[in-house]
Structure 1
């Protein structure tokens, strides 16, 4: 056995490896070897384990490996192999483990693999395979682990999988699989993990899964499942993760789920669930994540939820919850995230929530909360957007003094009293008028009966009413700069602005996905009430529509009409935002974002900001959530220029608007309440450091931020600590290592304490373009291959 795994070895594998004629196991995983696999390895005729995973081997999978018929383990995952799987793989009849995951392999799944009757582990994840999963996969009767995730497989899941009785792990996530889940899967007695997220599977939530008593992980999120959550899921006493978010599930949350005492993650967000949050969930003492956001849940937040002592994330946003925030939430000492935004919660914010030591995210915006924000909580989350949308909430960080709110409330009560008296008086007057009108009609009928003639005013009144109706028929239209789309079509495309079509939420309103009948997909931003009047809005929207650049989200149209309806039309960005992409990358050990991709993203953001600054515009809130990706994963900066469309152009209005986002806003912008080009540069620097290191700015303590942390690692010479998991394979001797360090230095320049010491965005674009010593990746997604339109 020769095992050199997990080192920093590089270069090509020496051809003399073939001299080890009695070698049985060769393990060279997780190094930096590159080039071709030497053909001399086949001289090791006794080899039964060949593990080359996690290197940089390239080319096609060597055909000579099929001659090594004694192989039981062949692990080539995490390399740069391309092409298809050779049909000669059928010769490896003794193979028990085949790992080809995370390469650039393509084509269909070869039937030859289905003849490897001894195979127990098959991992083809993270490639570019396409076509349907063949029904003959049921021939792999010895398979225990089957991972085909993150490819391009389509069609239905074959029912023949139900013949794999030894199967413990089934991962078919992130594909284009459709149809219903085959019932045969419910007959696999040893199944522990079933991951089918991010497909287009449909039908009812499969109740048959309740019979799989060994299940520990079930992820059906981001599909088209409908129906109710089966109550029989309560039989799954070993279940640790249940994720059904982003589907079309209706009905109530079964209280019986409280019997799944091993449950650690319960994600039911972004569905259409109704009813109350069951108090029975308090029995889930191991629960870490509870995500019920984006539903139609009503009632109060149950006090019993505080018994879930292990809870770290409580996400109840986007529902219709009422009542007060329970004081008992402070007993959840492990909480790091609390999102109660977009509900109808009332009462005061409990002051003891500030006692939760690890809380790093807190959002109670868009509720009906009242009173003063607890001082310790307001200073800890010094971002107005965290508490915005609560009319009777006062204190820091809101620019609303509690004395003013008290006066306002007294004035409001007086106005309500006056309105009530006026309404009562109006009602009495109406009754009197109705009585007089009835009396006159009765008198008229008596006169007509007596033969009196009355001239008819029909002709005169018809002329007047005709002019009025023609004026009313002139309605405001959806103004599109290129396409012709009506307002009615847009409302229909968003399903009447349905909650299920919401893409994102911000202080600038909701963004909806609009799917038109002709197949076109757009993004529609519905601005909050209280925006500019129609004439000013049209003027600002026309100006914003002229701001065009390939790295900006371009305004395609707008609508302004009564009653206070303001819409903005943008291109739809199908690949989400940078915050989500970075989160996915961290969950997949960095296989999503390599250095060239991160560099192109940073360069795209910089080019977009530079264009805004050249146009004498300031963004004001640069952050990963505002970096969107089109179908080619090209970065587009969004949410710029919206202050001009949502706030009146008055001096006092500018001081009350929130500035930036916590963690990304510059220190001077927090103090002055104004955003400048220099504060944009600072925000970009924070985003760049997060993009390169994978560290979120909000995860640091009050005494340390991401800038101080990066400087500390550089001073200690601990460069590897700066590397995000996807960049750990960078060779310290390579040009990419130098490019990465240059990127870090650009981020530090951007975040200089003195705004005058920061470079301009034009200078940053120049520096980032010079960051790539080698040529950029030539592809359709490469923004450097085309000129930026002005």
Structure 2
């Protein structure tokens, strides 16, 4: 990926846009206050970038705004009270930033709000009690802040999930199960305990220094002689260590970069990523950063650097070896791994030069859909279904299927990514974000997975159905409210007979009398079958592959993936 991209001014060409989605890019700098001039804007998504500075108060001029997603950036300052003037706002996500100050009382004026995530910031003070007045709120997360005081009783009863309030040291009340005490007495006890610990530590350190000083005086002459002898004895070993090569390429049994098919060293990989430089970052996910690695021989690979963890090295090696055996033309195949210290765990994958499905859909909507015609959308859906079916046949569950996890090779063939990685990482408290739950991503995760906290093959089928409906209609799940999600909206259009309302602009040229029209309708029906409320009523992925293959419009696009990859089970 190229260098960091900054917002440029003036932004007059944004004025009449309804949707501005630039998530998962490498945009840096300040959020331009001129965005407040985009009076028609309904969706503003700038998640997972490198934005800095304060949230512009000018965003309050966006009177038609429904979704504001600024999560996973480097924003500072306070959450402006002016945001409460966006009366139509339904989703407010500013998680994983560096916001400080208190939560504005004025947020209670957002009567249409359904999603509110302020987690993983530096917010302080008490939780405004009037937030309970937002009747439509269905997702609420303020975890990992510096909030204190008692959780409002009605708010704690309504969101009876401790994870929504976790990692706030001085927060108490239901559902945390932490009794509220007098804050003054609590702080006094803390200061007293800290004073005792400091005095005791100082006394112990002083006694230890005295003992060490006396011992050093008694042994001084003897240590000089032993030190000289030890220097002669160990100097060859140190010289050998200096000439043994890189951190991952040692001849004395140290960690090495393990490659299944070719020979690449850790030193070469570090050089190919420019020492894991920020400019080479392709994407940021809950499983760490993904870098583009360009080797001297022309080879290009994707290197995923997993977040720091304490997973045992032997267990990590075993899981990585297992994941390396999972091969299919519609999956991103693991080509190697590095199992050194917990702060440097690497996974090596094939490089996918054509980005992900989320970006492709966004580009298609900006170009009136001409990039994605019906045959291409059908082949993408079929590729996703085949990859997921193979995982299920291998007794694996993906757990987080969404457009960002569908990557494209040089031939634009779909490859599922980010599967099986939960077995290689150790969960952290900060892992959850505003749009990501512990079992998937908001808008794509099945209702039963949210309730049980467990993902299954049936919940994967539900997520596939949502992705399929988004692929066919161009509608993103977060654009809808609790009362009308994408599934209900599609059903409503079918019941009204307004089928053309379902068509993405690039599909408007479909002839109602053509076979492609029937194939499109079949795809919509498959999506509705996958999203049945009862998991037992959903088809299996092998059944879905069979149905989608039944509406095949032409031969498969040739794949540039590994020709030894296994075919999808029918």
TM-score range, shorter chain: 0.7 to 0.9
The answer to whether structure 1 residue 596 and structure 2 residue 369 are counterparts is no
Cα distance in 2 for partners of 1:474, 1:312 equals 56
Q: Deviations over 1:563-590 (max 9, x none)?
A: 4543323233333322333333334332
1:614 pairs with one of 371, 385, 393: 393
Q: Answer yes or no: is the 8 Å Cα contact 1:497–1:512 preserved in 2.
A: no
Q: Which runs of 5+ in 1 are unaligned?
A: 1-197, 220-237, 649-656
Whether 2:415 is the aligned partner of 1:636: answer yes
| Aligned match for 2:443, one of 663, 675, 679 | 663
Give the aligned CA root-mean-square deviation in angstroms.
Answer: 5.2
Determine if the alignment matches structure 1 residue 677 to structure 2 residue 451: no
- Trace 1:559-574 onto structure 2 (pairs within 5 A): 559-574=338-353
Candidates 76, 83, 91, aligned match of 1:298: 76
Give the 3-state SS of the residue equivalent to 2:54 in structure 1: coil
- Larger relative contact order, structure 1 or 2 (CA cutoff 8 Å, min sep 6): 2
Normalised by the length of structure 1, the TM-score is: 0.55
Structure 2 residue aligned with 1:478: 257
Which position in structure 1 is the counterpart of 2:501? 721
2:210 is aligned with 1:458: no
The 3-state SS of whatever aligns with 2:424 is helix
Distance in 1 (alpha carbons) for counterparts of 2:473 and 2:161:
24
Structure 2 residue 123 is the aligned partner of structure 1 residue 321: no
Distance 1:672 1:495, change over 3 A: same
**Gaps spanning 5+ residues in structure 2: where?**
242-246, 428-436
- SS at the partner of 1:523? strand
* Deviation of 1:501 (Å): 5.2
Match of 1:403 in 2: 177
Higher helix share: 2
Residues 420, 377 of structure 1: alpha-carbon distance in 2 compared, 3 angstrom cutoff: same
> Counterpart of 1:428?
203
Q: Is the CA contact (8 Å cut-off) linking 2:284 and 2:290 kept in structure 1?
A: no
Match of 1:512 among 274, 277, 290: 290
Contact 1:294 1:499 in 2 (8 A): no
Cα 1:627–1:391 shift into 2, 3 Å = farther
| Alignment partner of 1:277 out of 34, 54, 60 | 54
Structure 1 position 750 matched with structure 2 position 533: no
The 2-side partners of 1:365 and 1:489 are apart by 40
Structure with the greater alpha carbon radius of gyration = 1
Decide whether the 8 Å contact of 2:22 with 2:46 is kept in 1.
Answer: yes
Deviations 1:196-233 (A, max 9, x none): xx9x7999988xx77xxxx83279xxxxxxxxxxxxxx
Give yes or no for contact 2:57–2:80 (8 Å, CA) kept in 1.
Answer: no
Q: Deviations over 1:684-706 (max 9, x none)?
A: 22222222223333444434443
Q: Distance in 1 between matches of 2:304 and 2:476?
A: 27
Indicate conservation of the 8 Å contact 1:240/1:262, yes or no: no
Cα offset, 1:614, TM superposition: 1.6
Q: Distance in 1 between matches of 2:90 and 2:132?
A: 15
For 1:663 and 1:392, the matched residues in 2 are separated by 30
Residues 89-108 of structure 1: matches in 2 within 5 Å?
none
Can you list the C-alpha shifts for 1:619-677, whole angstroms capped at 9, x where unaligned?
Answer: 222222322222322111122112322359xxxxxxxx932333333344344433322
CA drift of 1:611 comes to 0.8
Alpha-carbon distance change, 756 to 779 in structure 1, aligned in 2, over 3 angstroms? closer
2:431 aligns with: none
Change beyond 3 A, Cα 1:513–1:675:
same
What pairs with 1:175-574 in structure 2 (closer than 5 Å)?
216-217=12-13, 262=37, 264=39, 274=52, 276-277=53-54, 281=58, 296-303=74-81, 306=84, 316-317=94-95, 319-331=97-109, 340=118, 342-347=120-125, 350=128, 352-353=130-131, 367=145, 387=164, 390=167, 401-403=175-177, 424-438=199-213, 456-458=225-227, 461-462=230-231, 475-487=254-266, 490=269, 502-506=281-285, 508-516=286-294, 518=296, 520-574=299-353
* Cross-structure match for 1:68: none
> TM-score, length-normalised on structure 2?
0.74
CA separation in 1, counterparts of 2:274 and 2:149?
Answer: 37
| In 1, Cα distance between equivalents of 2:27 and 2:70 | 13
Question: What is the CA–CA distance in structure 1 between the aligned matches of 2:31 and 2:191, rounded to whole Å?
Answer: 39
